[in-house]
Amino acid sequence: MSKPSIVFVSCCYNELENLSALYDTLAATMANVANIDWHLLLVDDASIDGTPERVVEMINQSKRIEYIQLSRNFGKEAAMTAGLDALSGADACILLDADLQHPIKYVPQMIDHWRNGASMVIAVPRLRNRDIIGRVASFLYHRLITWASKAPVTFAGGDFRLLDKTSIMELSKMRERARYMKGLYGFVGGDIKTIDYDEQPRAAGETKFSFTKRLSLALNGLISLTTLPLRLFSLLGIIAILFGTVYMIYILIELMMYGKSVPGFASVLFSVIIFNGFIMLQIGVQGEYIAKILEEVKHRPLYIIRQHINPLDSQSGNDV
């Protein structure tokens, strides 16, 4: 009887300094896990630091490494999708960062949950390695997404997780361009288990996930998972109508009963400026949704593979 297979999917961009340590730590950990056939799939999001050459050297030393190189930088969400799409024969996969912030020592615990029937095992950090403002912003954002989303999102659950074969297959069916993987994981559902872990500092180098990229990903998540911004402006419109109606009744009563003309050029001008600002903002929000629709109807590939090196098979130039 063949052993169940697990593929470790790690997306990297200019992580040359961490690749050897990632594989060595993974190999040392899996040496103590019985009855598992495993290998590491590195998805290179068009690194420019010598990563391809280093990975080829690592493949020549070990047959447990598979390599996908994208033709350009498509972003982490697309890179993870490329990794998941390549797992047709795997019984499960574990997603983890190449910078070793996801401690590999928790992998056996995740595998145990999977062996006991869990379809997804999510590693939740006890405390993120961010400044206080970043932690508060992340907390509020996840609360908002969890409350507004139609799909359950595990609070503070990131990409460090195990997915069984069914979860992998279902995620591969979802081809939307505005991808927020944490929300897509929740859409799949299943028997979900969580474990707590202590996030580690980066082993080497600096993060490539800038504030701008985090903000763009957050907006993608908000727009792709919820209609909250549109409904918010609908609510503001109702409030504005009610306020205007009450104010109009007040003016008519003053005029009809007391013969007073209510002065208020400044207040009227202020109201016009504020409400015009709301209108412009609403148009901007609607424009974001329309732009996402435009991206979807083009049906462009989520990513383009430049080369795919497998210990048993090699292929290149695939569009997906």
Average pLDDT in the chain: 82
Cα dihedral across residues 168, 162, 26, 54: positive or negative? positive
Residues 102 and 197 grouped into a single domain:
yes
Other Cβ atoms closer than 10 A to 38: 22
Residues 174 and 260 grouped into a single domain:
no
Number of independent structural domains in the chain? 2
Residues 159 and 249 grouped into a single domain:
no
Residue 31, domain member (yes or no): yes
| Two structure tokens written together for 179 | 């991808």
**Total-model pTM:** 0.78
Q: How far apart are CA 307 and CA 86, in angstroms?
A: 13
Burial of 21 (0-12, 13-18, 19+ CB in 10 A): middle
Residues 181 and 243 grouped into a single domain:
no
- Contact assessment for residue 106 and residue 195, using Cβ atoms and an 8 Å cutoff: yes
In terms of Cα–Cα distance, which of 298, 300, 296, 320 is closest to 308? 320
Does pLDDT of 193 surpass 60? Answer: yes
Residues 142 and 166 grouped into a single domain:
yes
Q: What is the dihedral of CA 83, 89, 92, 98, to 10 degrees?
A: -30
Cα dihedral across residues 121, 202, 183, 134: positive or negative? positive
pLDDT digits 0-9 by tens, 128-176: 656 677 667 777 777 777 777 766 777 777 889 999 999 999 999 988 8
More confident residue, 50 or 220: 50
Cα dihedral across residues 296, 45, 120, 211: positive or negative? negative
pLDDT digits 0-9 by tens, 224-262: 777 778 777 777 777 777 777 777 777 777 777 776 665
Q: Residue 10's beta-bridge partner residues?
A: 42
DSSP state of 243: H
Domain coverage including residue 245: 228-298
